[in-house]
Amino acid sequence: MKISAVRARVYRWIGPTSPPRRNFCASPMDAVAALADPMSAFRFHEWLVCEIETSDGIVGIGNCALAPRLAKRVIDMYLAPLVIGRDPFDVEAIWQAMYRSTIAWGRKGIGMAGISAVDIALWDILGKATGKPVFKLLGGRTKARIPVYASRLYSQPLETLAQEAQRYLDQGFTMMKLRFGWGPQDGAAGMRHNIDLLKTVREVVGDDVDIMLECYMGWTLEYAKRIFPRLAIYNPRWIEEPVLPDDIAGYSQLNATGSIPVAGGEHEFTLFGFKQLLDSNSVSVIQYDTNRVGGITAAQKINALAEACQVPVVPHAGQMHNYHLTMANLNCPMSEFFPVNEVEVGNELFYYLFEGDPLPKDGFVDLRDDVPGLGISISGEHLGSFQIVD
């Protein structure tokens, strides 16, 4: 079996959107809000789908969502020529060829997003060719079902925030993640608003529910050091991306305080990037996203490294490429789940574009043993709301 074609397409959502409000989530743009649109960090209304076809007629599907039109260029110009004609089962050698030939510019960011999309499609082929779900090729079933946490709770008026938290409780979730809305530029009042958000959710859910906290790179080390003790009294499960992903020393200092476990990695790349985070004790929870980090081939190596360090891995976003890794690794205790919603920032597009993703029941998702590959296909249901732009 040989790879005969690689097709990368960018799907742009042209259906209705519900634009996020100011202060709905902290971000790195907050620091320059006076100079540029702070909401520009929150529009991901395009998704790249990479279909790889084999001489046997198998089509593997991969995807990525970081700057999809640029990732498409990477695939078309640099990766497809390396992949066509190869045996898809030589997935390690193919990964190394993609990584090494783009290393001058591709190690982190868009280059690795393109590599991820191709690698995920190759693993989908391996599953389909062997008649096995991908998780069965990675280690098999390590849990009866995957516990998932509800990941939304954007910063909003406290009354509606409380209602949303109650809704997740009613749906059977025992874990949920809250977004902060303010950062260093919002002063003492902003810090109090942030604390009120957590206090509100804790009051609704009681002590027997895990609350995760999300800063989305929007704070500074100094701000984080001041607010951590005031948050810690509400016993959060972890705090995510408190500082810029490049501030590894900042991560390390915060994690060393031990007051709240620090989580991160959705903007880190490859085995080498995560070795740096683990060597410096920067994170207590690793959160790569398979469609950024280098695909399933890279993610599985990071899983091994993290297990040796006894740092749990909870991939960023639900979605099939992440669920299969969570299922196959004992050191991945749970997955994230974005509640299906109207299109806001764009995280939701996965559900509109693909079919086959499991929906949670009582706070768990399950993967089927009898569906080969990743188990997703392009959905016809919402195709009219997408435009293929590239």
Whether the CB-CB separation of 113 and 71 falls below 8 Å is answered with yes
Strand-pair category, 3-13 with 46-54 = antiparallel
Token pair, residue 264, equals: 């991160």
Q: Cβ of residue 177: shortest distance to Mg ion, in angstroms?
A: 8
Q: Compute the distance between CA of residue 368 and CA of residue 78 in angstroms, rounded to an integer.
A: 35
Query: With CB under 5 A, what is the number of residues at the site for Mg ion?
Result: 1
The dihedral region occupied by 119, where left means phi > 0, alpha psi between -120 and 50, and beta the remainder, is: alpha
* Sign of the torsion formed by the C-alpha atoms of 75, 80, 357 and 329: negative
Strand-pair category, 364-365 with 146-151 = antiparallel
Task: Verify whether residue 316 is a known catalytic residue.
Answer: yes
Catalytic residue selected from 45, 316, 321, 324:
316
Q: Cβ of residue 366: shortest distance to Mg ion, in angstroms?
A: 24
Amino acid, single-letter form, for residue 386: F
CB under 8 Å to 8, separation ≥6 — which residues? Answer: 48, 49, 50, 51, 71, 72, 75, 76, 80, 114, 117
Segment 219 to 258, residues that bind Mg ion, using CB under 5 A: 240
Nearest to 142 by CA among 375, 367, 373, 386: 367
Q: Compute the distance between CA of residue 240 and CA of residue 287 in angstroms, rounded to an integer.
A: 9
CA distances from 168 to 146, 174, 363 (A): 17, 8, 9
Binding interface with Mg ion (CB under 5 A):
240
Which residues are known catalytic residues?
316
